[in-house]
Chains A and B, each alone.
Chain A
Amino acid sequence: MVENNSVGTIFNIQPFSIHDGPGLRTTLFLKGCPLHCPWCSNPESILAAIQVKLSLEKCQQCGICVETCAENALTLDENQKPRLDISCCNQCLKCVESCPSGCISTIGRKTTADTVVSELLKDAPFYSNTGGGVTLSGGEPLAQPDFTAAVLAMLKREGIHTAVDTTGFGLQGHLDAVLPHTDLVLFDIKHLDYERHRQVVGVPNDRILENLKIVADQTGFWIRVPLIPGFNDDIELADRIVALGKSTGAERVCFMPVHRWGEHKYPCLGMPNTLAGIPGFPAKRSQAFQDHFRHMSDYVFITGG
């Protein structure tokens, strides 16, 4: 049963997206992800709760925030500027109001399906003229199944094309709730090897691969693969993923060379900068993928990065 007033936590509504499915889209980013990929460019999406973020350009080093924090999540660094450690933080958000310079803000807000849908519908004329629609991304939309299903169902009722960008890591019941309202699934595959997947991403991939079949049975989907140097950037693996795509009936397979554009966010969130350890994806390597898949350029896409 889909409830219009079911509540979800989101952290961004991004209009004018042209890479999250066909046409011009608005992407709704939901908060909370069961995976923790070290290359994550949206680290603010991982934690399900509303959290705090520091932007210290206007910081007067008054230390008020540090005094406010009862958990010692905020401390002063050697330059007398506050430093956040998310592992101690309990998201009480008291520090936000305490700062006189407005340096501490929250990421994420709770909203109901109706509210967010009315926001998403504002761009409806753009969707219909471009063959676009709305994409739910994250985080992991399946981690908030009721909210996700409610938003999608309401969009469908308005005739909007819907897409869900998912890690594939979710319960079958959640998939069953979401898929009937979804036109297109953007299904992330990070690796086909069970152990490698588990080591690096934090969860094994067996459920993901099973869910791929469930998705394939019910709706159109693309497979999307973030290309990470030294993790999954070998062509042989790529061939196998493409073969998987073909055999399961994916509409296309997209390889997306990793970029490091989320790196600056980690310290602001008080998170260890795992992206620092990920080398950039060399243009040459990207070209090698382009060349290798040239003969299937209407099926395999390598994004610009």
Chain B
Amino acid sequence: MTITARSKTLRDETCIKSLGRISDQRTVREGLSICLERARIMTDVFKETEGEPMCIRRAKGLAAVLDNMTLFVRDRELLVGCFSSSEKSLPTYPELYWRWLEKAVDNLPDYAAMLSPAEKAELKEIHAYWKPFSIHGRERAYIPPGRSWRIGDFISGGWMWQWEISTPDYKKILRKGLYGIIEEINEKYEAVAADISRPTRDRMRQMDELKAMKISVDAAARWGLRYATLLELHRQEETDPLRCKELDRMISVLSQVPSGPARNFHEALQCFILITFIINYIDQPQVGNGIRFDEVLGPYYEKDLADGLLTPAQGRELVEAVWIKMQEGGYVQPPQWVNNGGGGLGFQTITFGGTDSEGRDITNALTHLGLEVTGDLQTIAPQVAVRIHDNTPQSLYESIFRCVRTGCSQPAIFNDNVNVPRLTELGAALEDARGYSINNCMQPVIPGKNIHYRAGHSGGFLLPMCLTLALSGGRFDIMQGKLSGKRVGYPTPDITEMKSFKDVWDAFCMQVEYAGETLTMLANIADELLREYIPRPFLSAILEGNIEKGCDMRDWEFLGLRHHLVFGVNNAAEGLCAIKKLVFEEKKLTLDAFVAAVEANYDGDALKILNLINERVPRFGNDDDYVDQITVEIMRTVKAVCGRSIDIYGNPYVLDGTTASAPIGAGMILNATFDGRKANEPFHDGSISPVQGHDTAGPTATIRSVAKVKTRESGNLLLNQKFMPEFFDPKHYPVMAGYLKTIMDLGVHHVQFNCVDRQTLENAKLNPEKHKDLIVRVAGYSAYFIDLDNRMQDEIIKRTEQRF
């Protein structure tokens, strides 16, 4: 089946909220604007409610936005929902930030174009109110003097007030409707109000919080009804009888959800979209999503099919409609961050496959349908994850490969055999761990549970820079690329005192430790600020345990999953490897000379040193223990540092290895490193993937290298592998399924297959150095694309073209 004409039109007409593509200079897509409605209404409410408890103010703010925001219906769409006044605009969140946005609209033409002069004036007026209260900026008061924390020094990080993750209990919302949840809140409220034996402070706080939950949940229920009313107006003007029938149905759907329980597939999907939009765009900017789409919604789909209420074609078009709605999402991002996030998109990830709480496979008809739509529709969102376990049916492997083959680089494939034990080790009950899903850039979350992380400060260990600082006594001048100057890291010994590789290694570990300390301090400050100033009563009400406890989601956590990221572990490992081999073992150069070569960006005479590295230093990804074990040791070290870092709820941090396109962004601004990487070249993509082009011994050797880095001794690590679409030809499904199973057996946390398209092949032909790891099938065997001569490459490019 192909996508419907309606879906195609809606998809093509969607304004992609891509703020900043790496390939060119533009930071904002044309036609994209900023909608001030949310900010305006929120500001008015905050002015009116001064002195009231913060949770009530936030609830009233959200309620006022939902009651008053402009709603729209896109032409002929089947599922409605919005978060700003038009499909081409994005809201802003002045309670979180104002400074960078104001600077950007003042100074950068792309940002300036997102507002009319009058709107710009209004934005400034809104900001004028928030300046003392907006939380971005407040953190500075709490950072000790002299502590360097900026990106590039040795950590990568930033105040990402707009990046937060948690997944509500969609099943419960669908089952009970928001009115059902309000009943629960009311019951609890009455009980708390009556029980004066409770400590007074707790009782008062709980009453406030429950009241706030009720205000916001009530408003969300009304929001659906507002949509029903709007659709009635559309219905009156509609002349096309087919559309009239659709509108009648949609009016009935929106009269039912989200206030009441979902009775069918259409209602369930509509409810999901509205709730997702509220929590991820209207209340707060929150990436992630994390729904187990097939598990939650599959039963509705299958029941409707069985009852004859829905044809497969209708069901499919509804799923397409969900994907298109997801594609509408996005956030205005700070200019310095757009590359790190790969754009300002919504990063909504939805999960398929896996097991129920008893460990039984849950694959259903919607699993296959969802993957089919993903491949056919080729929208940039949602991101799709699939869980694989021992009893994953062959049919799901085939759906995965069919999807991969379309070249959409989806889905990411997750290993239950690694993820479930990892979550139980962190303290989750086995039944809960089995219910995990994937959220945002690929962190595990347990849907419905009070897990919220990557809140205000998102940062990571910039491991290649930790190595640089280890060889500079903690000093670094980023502008000049000199390993001297301002002290930004830990004062480790001077290189003149380093007599063995162990001295270098120890200094490196000290820098990692120091980076961890800094990251933890920053993240904890951020979390405390959010806890104090941005309670989230609506989301709290739909996450388990908060109504019962009468407290905000920010006041406790179900499971400690706050994390620090890692960047460039293999760049760091290869740098250490180069030092170990060339300086201390083969004595081919001195540490001094090496440092000078890095400072010179390997230009001029230093080129010789670069050649030496390229010729002699083993690279990660070829099953060579010499370097692989360094990667393993680095990961162990970082994991241990994370384990010693404690979040504001008293839980240790975990190491997170899923860094989206951040390694590209981070690399682009950083100086040369000891692995032979020149300034501004990206770090390797995916947290454990080999450095681009360094895996020359074939995909299985790469897997063997990666498998040495045990997830449980490190963290969730992503491996990207690139293949020609040919490998995913249906006749190879059984072999590829076996290959994938082996990857899982070897304990790899998750893997992503990229099917290479023609464009990439053409680039590879022009820039072979950048595509050394590209595998193509040549007649009976596979070969690295760059090994082939030009005519052969042309031949393959041609073949690829025919297939698309």
Enumerate chain A interface residues (CB-CB to B < 8 A).
Answer: 14-20, 23-24, 26-27, 41, 122-123, 125-126, 129-132, 256, 259, 261, 263-264, 303-305
Contact = CB atoms under 8 A, between A and B. Distances in A.
A23 B623 CA distance: 22
B358 interface: no
Nearest to A22: B735
Given A129-B741, A132-B738, A264-B792, A122 B623 contact: yes
Interface in B768-804: 775, 777-782, 788-789, 791-792, 795
Contacts of B735: 18, 23-24, 130-132
Contacts of A23: 735, 738
Nearest to A125: B742
Contacts of B44: none
B299 interface: no
A17 B700 contact: no
A273 to B, nearest CB: 13
A193 to B, nearest CB: 25
Given A23-B738, A126-B700, A17 B779 contact: no
Given A129-B739, A130-B739, A20 B734 contact: no
Given A130-B734, A130-B742, A303-B780, A15 B699 contact: yes
B14 to A, nearest CB: 37
A263 B735 CA distance: 30
Contact of A19 (B697, B775, B780, B792): B780
B708 to A, nearest CB: 12
12 contacts: A14-B781, A15-B697, A16-B775, A16-B782, A26-B700, A126-B700, A129-B742, A129-B745, A130-B735, A131-B738, A261-B792, A305-B779
Contacts of B780: 17, 19-20, 256, 303
Nearest to B729: A304
A282 to B, nearest CB: 14
Contacts of B741: 129
The prevalent SS among residues of A at the interface is loop
A139 to B, nearest CB: 14
Interface of B: 623, 697-701, 704, 726-727, 732, 734-735, 737-739, 741-742, 745-746, 775, 777-782, 788-789, 791-792, 795
A126 B738 contact: yes
B723 to A, nearest CB: 10
Contact of B779 (A16, A24, A41, A264): A41
Nearest to A130: B738
B782 A17 contact: yes
A16 B696 CA distance: 13
**6 nearest CB pairs, A to B:** A130-B738, A15-B698, A264-B789, A19-B780, A129-B738, A129-B742
B706 to A, nearest CB: 13
Nearest to B704: A122
Nearest to A23: B735
A94 to B, nearest CB: 21
A130 to B, nearest CB: 3
B782 A14 contact: yes
Contact of A15 (B701, B738, B777): B701
Nearest to B738: A130
Interface centre among B697, B746, B781 (most CB of A within 10 A): B781
Given A129-B741, A132-B738, A15 B778 contact: no
A131 B734 contact: yes
A303 B732 CA distance: 13
Contacts of A20: 780-781
A78 B246 CA distance: 77
